Amino acid sequence: SQTIHQWPATLVQPVGSPLSLECTVEGTSNPNLYWYRQAAGRGLQLLFYSVGIGQISSEVPQNLSASRPQDRQFILSSKKLLLSDSGFYLCASTGTGFGGSIYEQYFGPGTRLTVT
Amino acid sequence: SQKIEQNSEALNIQEGKTATLTCNYTNYSPAYLQWYRQDPGRGPVFLLLIRENEKEKRKERLKVTFDTTLKQSLFHITASQPADSATYLCALVGSARQLTFGSGTQLTVLP
């Protein structure tokens, strides 16, 4: 089965500083990849998704960006963080259809970002 | 725009009883609907997927129904246990398999 790695696990950054969160996936190839954010006490919001290398779709206008330089690597970035960027960031990958549905998503352990 | 609502933010039930969680959606006709479990500080874990042409799906003590006329899904946990305490999320599946999540229902099973 798939394993999603995310780092760092926690991050405290000042307003205006840059951000780079990395996600890597093991145990699959050519997955769809997703970045979600969960603000405190709220549901998960889809930020970006990618169906292939270099292909990024944005769901919500914001000061964040995403890139997919390799098949199983997904990066979330910002040039200047805002207070409202605080939250729990989750990377997810779709199933392969082997031993599970292609529609189910596997989530990483998440990065808790606090912008101060 | 599409909207997905989970009616109860929190639900407390006694151990051994059946928990029923509700998910309603508007402005969308999903081919698939999913349910996930999320524990505090962790990512969601997939539980069940139901297709639009399926009325009901079961997995062990879990049962999901999907009524495309009412635009509603019900999620049942029978013989509930304290270990079932968690937040349960419903999600609609988009064309790129991206998920639109409801806000979740926090279930507490009391011993």
> Residues B58-106: pLDDT tens digits?
999 999 999 989 999 999 999 999 999 999 999 998 888 888 999 999 9
pLDDT tens track for B2-40: 789 997 789 999 999 999 999 999 888 788 999 999 999
Q: Name every chain B residue with its beta carbon within 8 A of the beta carbon of A106.
A: 46
**pLDDT, position B97:** 84
Residues 46-105, chain B, touching A (beta carbon < 8 A): 46, 49, 89, 93, 96-104
Separation CA B18–CA B62 (nearest Å): 10
- In chain A, residues with a C-beta closer than 8 Å to the C-beta of B93 are 103
Give the residue from A60, A101, A114 with the most B CB atoms within 10 Å of its CB, the best one to mutate.
A101
Cβ contact A95:A101 at 8 Å = yes
Measured CA to CA in angstroms, residue A6 lies from A3, A20, A96, A109, B90 at distances of 10, 11, 20, 6, 24
**What's the whole-number mean pLDDT along residues A81-88?**
95
Identify the bridge partners of residue B108 per DSSP, sorted by sequence position. Answer: B12
Task: Looking at the complex, report in whole angstroms how far the Cα of residue B17 sits from the nearest Cα belonging to chain A.
Answer: 26
* pLDDT band for position A98 (cuts 50, 70, 90): low
Q: In whole angstroms, what is the distance from residue A78 CA to residue A63 CA?
A: 6
Put simply, the answer to whether B96 touches A32 (Cβ < 8 Å) is yes
Kindly report, residue by residue over A38-84, the tens digit of the pLDDT: 988 778 999 999 999 999 999 886 789 999 999 999 999 999 999 99
Is A96's pLDDT higher than 80? no
The mean per-residue pLDDT over the stretch A91-99 comes to: 76
The predicted pLDDT at position A11 comes to: 97
